[in-house]
Amino acid sequence: MATDMQRLVGMGEDDEEMGMGMKDDDDEDADYDENGGEHGNVSGMVEIDGGSGMGTGAGDNRFQQHHEFQEQVGTPGGGNRRSRPVEEKERTKLRERRRRAITARILAGLRRHGNYNLRVRADINDVIAALAREAGWVVLPDGTTFPSKSQGQMPAGGNSAVVTSSSSHVPSQQPPSVSLKGVASGYGSPLEYNACPMKDVFIPSPSPYDLSSTSRSQTSMVGDGEAQRDNPPLIGGSIDTINEKQTADITPRLPERDFAGSPYVPVYVMLPLGVINIKCELVDPDGILKQLRVLKSANVDGVMVDCWWGIVEAHAPQEYNWNGYKRLFQMVRELKLKLQVVMSFHECGGNFGDDVCIPLPHWVAEIGRSNPDIFFTDREGRHNPECLSWGIDKERVLRGRTAVEVYFDFMRSFRIEFNEYFEDGFISMIEVGLGPCGELRYPSCPVKHGWRYPGIGEFQCYDQYMLKSLRKAAEERGHTIWARGPDNVGTYNSQPHETGFFCDGGDYDGFYGRFFLNWYSQALVDHGNRVLSMAKLAFEGSCIAAKVSGIYWWYKTASHAAELTSGYYNPCNRDGYAAITAMLKRNGVNLNIACVDLHTFNQHESFPEPFADPERLVWQVLNAGWDVGLPVVSENALPCLNRVSYNKVLDNTKPINDPDGRHFSSFTYLRLSPLLMERPNFIEFERFVKRMHGEAVLDLQV
């Protein structure tokens, strides 16, 4: 039943059009009766205290209201539904419609003209919270509000106790410790109440910036690059319990850790995707040279560049053209910068953030036209030419070669062509592409097939070669009927609770589900093992890295559906990254994990925060790697331009209070762009590089 406050505000017209939260007439009448007709609405009105700027309600008089309610129900005219005239019912409906219309106009005006970030089903609590933030106040998830004047005592008494999220600990230097839960109860779907318990992993105390509910970040990317905006946490509970006793002074200048004297972590900058064109020519060498010099002035250690299979071996098998890369590498070496190189065996273009189009080699595309099963295929039979299916890793379908042999020949050609750069240590690391976007995962979320964040994606195992492997696994298990993909998994944009496979208690945890997911995830691990073992031969003695994707949406549900379709068998009762890190350890490969710059609070306004947890995902993967002794390198998932994002990267790179004193081996900034070169942004970037190098900065906020 809606609260009195929410019934006063009503629902917006856009909600009615979308069919969201629309009460039927009988429910409206029932609510009217239960609240004593119009008296229930009047008693629930909110008074705004102009002196303190805080919302106060009639919560202290609830017992009296309840007594009055009982008296109204007991009287002949007190709201007995069966005796109420039809005309009174109609008047009630009309009043509700008017309230909704007025509320819709208010919220629309605040969104359009005031630029307020209000959710679709906003109520008076959200409006008051937004106004309080605009005035510079701090609003906690439980509704507690206090001014931002100094870092004084936190609210005490009332409803100031906040549920602590294990992914956001308050730094030890801030007494008393407080941490925030991203979304409080009261606005959730059933999934919020069925959120799974979190895996036990070491989580370092994050930056005080994690506590800022008013911070803003730039346009961001998730997964393959989905654009997002930083939003404050939703406000839960009632504002009735807020009073002047709960206010305290908080400083807007949040303290920073002092990284002076901390371990030196090299910083690299990823060059633009189109620095080498499709003809393998260096684009705008003068412009690149100027930008490299600017990076050198900031004491950046080096740069990273993609070596595209679709450019170098574009026209015929084993005919390699390295001309553009030779010129670029020579330019970088003359500036005495280091170089990291990515062996990119995937297609560029079609995903969020891709500003160039680099397809797979032409001769591979010709083979695909006659045999489309060399590409990953979904349940509907749609083929994805973003990368080759792992089903042909050992199938001689590429002009007499297997996919693994094609990858090895490419890597060996690179090693021979640039041997001198390896010998003098100029090339510091080789990252081997293992799937879409260079990441070890299935292309389960293809934008070209209609996927949009936060869809769960689809399994990609329906080409003839993957199905052949599945049939073999089912026969070995003794259940030939299991030689199929699950048929109740929804579509690319489904949510877990909408499917029979991924919902709580769904088939993913049944006998067949466990068999299928074990096979599906093991195929991912086997593919990585095959390609990386070849990379060890081609780049013997060199530092090699492999990238694990950060599929963090739906992380707080029991099934972790988006991770399952990507090949990470990581439900709440199983560590899906242990097998991957063990495979990387066997091959002596560094672990690269992205999204170390993401805050759990930074979620899209349309999607509740409890479903996603990039911070906890990062630390689960990091702990899985560090447990087996893997060196860890990293990169950002979003364009980092502000201090909040940089501090998040620093806190993950050099964890505070880590008992073993571990830190990343290097960090790669994505990516070089005109926006980064703007003076204010570059000054902030220079400051970040100094702190990564363990140098002191003069403007440290303490």
Distance of alpha carbon 191 from alpha carbon 2, whole angstroms: 20
Distance of alpha carbon 202 from alpha carbon 445, whole angstroms: 29
**57, 238 contact by CB (below 8 A):** yes
For the chain, what's the residue count? Answer: 702
- What does the DSSP assignment read for 496-549? GGGSTTTSTT-GGGSHHHHHHHHHHHHHHHHHHHHHHHHHHHHTTTS-EEEEEP
Distance of alpha carbon 359 from alpha carbon 37, whole angstroms: 66
Half-sphere exposure of 222 (CA within 13 A, CB side): 26
Phi-psi region of 293 (alpha: psi -120 to 50; beta: other; left: phi over 0): alpha
Give φ, ψ of 245 to 5 degrees: -70, -15
**Residues whose CB falls within 8 Å of the CB of residue 240, separated by 6 or more in sequence, listed in order:** 56, 57, 58, 59, 60
b/e per residue 523-557 (b: at least 16 CB within 10 A)? bbbebbbbbbebbbebbeebbbbbbbbbbbbbbbb
Least Cα distance to 129 among 198, 48, 26, 58 occurs for 48
**436, 567 contact by CB (below 8 A):** no
Residue type at 657 in one-letter notation: N
How far, rounded to the nearest angstrom, does the alpha carbon of residue 115 sit from its chain's CA centroid? Answer: 24
- What does the DSSP assignment read for 347-413? -BSSSTT--S-B-S-HHHHHHHHH-GGGEEE-TT--EEEEEE-GGGTT---BTTB-HHHHHHHHHHH
Q: Which two tokens stand for residue 7?
A: 């019934």
Would you call 635 a catalytic residue per the annotation? yes
Q: Which of 458, 563, 609, 635 is catalytic?
A: 635
Distance of alpha carbon 659 from alpha carbon 630, whole angstroms: 16
**Residues whose CB falls within 8 Å of the CB of residue 472, separated by 6 or more in sequence, listed in order:** none
Least Cα distance to 537 among 394, 436, 404, 364 occurs for 404
Would you call 695 a catalytic residue per the annotation? no
Distance of alpha carbon 416 from alpha carbon 419, whole angstroms: 5
Tally of CB atoms within 10 A around 558:
22
Q: Which of 347, 386, 439, 458 is catalytic?
A: 439
Active site residues: 439, 635
